[in-house]
Each structure stands twice: as C-alpha cells, then as structure tokens.
Amino acid sequence: MGLQQMWRLVWRFNSFKRTDIILQHLRMSKHTEAAEVLLERKGCAGVITLNRPKFLNALNVSMIRHIYPQLKNWEQDPETFLIIIKGAGGKAFCAGGDIRAISEAGKANQKIAQDFFREEYMLNNAIGSCQKPYVALIHGITMGGGVGLSVHGQFRVATEKSLFAMPETAIGLFPDVGGGYFLPRLRGKLGYFLALTGFRLKGRDVYAAGIATHFVDSEKLGMLEEDLLALKSPSKENIADVLDAYHAKSKIDQDKSFILEEHMDKINSWFSANTLEKIIENLQQDGSSFALEQLKVISKMSPTSLKITLRQLIEGSSKTLQEVLTMEYRLSQACMF
C-alpha cells in the first residue's frame, strides 16, 4: 500500500469518526431536550410530566414543542380518556416561562422570542379548547407560564403546598398566558388585585380564589393519580366524582377562611376604577394598613406594566380566550422589543 493510499484511509477513518461523534452528540442533545418533559401513556390517560426540577420546571420552547403535538394526538385518540399534567421534583408544578433564556436569546435573535410566545399561547388555547378532560396537579409553585398550562383546563387540583402568583408587573411584563381572560372572571375584582399587585396565594386559598377546582392533601396526590389512571373508559363525570371524593376527604386548613375574605369588599371598591391613577387614589384615601401595604407594593412595580395590565383585563373581560391570547401576543412583542 502506497503512502498516498494509507493517508486516504486514515482521512476516511477520521472523517467517519468525526461524523459518528457528531451523531452521538445530536442523539444525546435530542434525548436531553426530550427529557425536559415526559409524555407517557398510562392506563386510560396521557400523562405530561414537566421535568426540569432544578429550574422549578420553568417552561421553554422545546418543552412546548413536545407537549403541543402530543396533546393534539391524545385529544384525537379514542383510547385516551383524560390528560394529566404535573411537575417533577415536589417543589414546583411550573414556576413560569423561562423568561431569562428568552430575553437573552431575544437580544441575539428576535425570532426566538416571537416563536416562544406564539407557541406558548397556542398551547394555552389548545388546553382551553381540549375536548378531553384535562387534570392539572398544581402542587408547589405555579406562576406565570405554569398558570397558563393549568388554569384553562377543566380540572385544577391544588394542595397545601401550592403557591400561585402572576408576578409579571414586577418584571416589566403583564399577566399573560390568558391572564386577560381568567383574571377578570374571578369573583369581584379579585383578579385585578392579583394582577396588579402580584399577590401570592398559598394552599387552600388557591382553591378559595377559584384558581383551582379542587383541593387535595399532598400526601394523597399519588393515590389520586393512581385512581384516575385506573378508571375504565371514564366519562367527564366519572373523573369529577373521583376528584370530588378526594376533595371532600381533605383535612388540611379545612376550616380556614380565605386570606383576603375580610378585604374583599374594599378590593372590589378600590379596583373597580378604570384608571390606575384612580385605583392609587382609592388606596390613598382609604389609608388603612392593608391599603397602604398594597400602595407600597404597587409603587415598586413597572408603571408601564401596571397600565398595560389594567387595560388588558378590562379589554379581556368581554373577549374569548382565543381573542385574549391574540391580544396578548401583540402585547408581548411590543414589550419585548
């Protein structure tokens, strides 16, 4: 064998080796990306597990791109009778969209931010219009994008460890993912209060506020899921019966009144104003410690975000979910760039 032929063989071998290494990296990358969300068929259900516990299951675009088509497939599958979504790790259902990653990526590539918000809102709409019963186990931190993955579904199960908030006015955004739809539909002006102040609801208060449809003690959550999966060709009513039974048996904070109950009349009065200036004036004129506390909170928020949010909720109160999400997509792009 001549020297030239030998070098040719060495080059081919190295080329093959490089190609093989690249393919291995691609396979690993795909596996890692897919592992951020687990999509499994169990019993009668399709089960979605948000699987980024180190990041409190923050939602990114690759997760959305896995969930959306599978949700649509399960919706059409005659053997899938319900869809369950939950978070891994015990600390969070989903702490929100991965805004830091989106913001950093958006500085370099505007299309990434466009894609994220558009595809996230498409998923929110798909959940809201899903023809199969959709059960969100909102155990742990549930904020922003996590609310969008749960609140539009038919059933939302809170536990004593649930923590709900829409904190966007503090970071220069607005309570999106359909916040303009569900927040003004909470009782009285509660949704306006939650949106503008970012007030956090914990445990049974998440149920009392109307964010969750059921409350279950966290130690029973695994059993609840097992009982749902064991149902045979269940109807929506069968699923509701199981959830109702667990809800009725829950004991934690059973007799506790809603944390904002004593303030609801004032909240309804203060936040019925159509301008931010009037809301602030209402709080100042009241002068109670609770009013002054909310005034202090609002003063730390982005003034632009506060104005956008108030208008968003007023407009959203008479729109469909799809119309609200279209409006919010346009707002998201205006806020990002």
Establish if 19 belongs to a structural domain. no
In the annotation, is 217 catalytic? no
Paired residues of 94 in beta bridges: 142
Of the candidates 36, 98, 168, 205, the residue annotated as catalytic is 168
Neighbours of 29 (CB within 10 A): 10
Of the candidates 144, 145, 146, 153, the residue annotated as catalytic is 145
Average pLDDT, the chain: 91
pLDDT band at 100 (very low <50, low <70, confident <90, very high): confident
pLDDT band at 228 (very low <50, low <70, confident <90, very high): very high
Angstrom distance (rounded) from CA 101 to CA 216? 34
Neighbours of 48 (CB within 10 A): 24
Establish if 304 belongs to a structural domain. yes
Domain with 232 in it: what CATH number?
3.90.226.10
In the annotation, is 97 catalytic? yes
Structural domain count, the chain: 1
Q: Among 315, 54, 55, which residue's Cα sits nearest to residue 180?
A: 315
Domain region containing 288 = 37-336
Of the candidates 36, 120, 160, 176, the residue annotated as catalytic is 176
Least confident range from 22-26, 43-47, 203-207, 280-284: namely: 22-26
Of the candidates 46, 97, 106, 180, the residue annotated as catalytic is 97
Establish if 106 belongs to a structural domain. yes
pLDDT at 174 over 70: yes
Q: What is the pLDDT of residue 13?
A: 47
More confident residue, 103 or 281: 281
Q: 241-288, pLDDT tens digit by residue?
A: 999 999 999 999 999 999 999 999 999 999 999 999 999 999 999 999
Q: Which pair of tokens denotes residue 15?
A: 């080329």
Establish if 26 belongs to a structural domain. no
Full-model pTM: 0.88
pLDDT band at 26 (very low <50, low <70, confident <90, very high): very low
Residue 169 contacts residue 117 (beta carbons within 8 Å): no
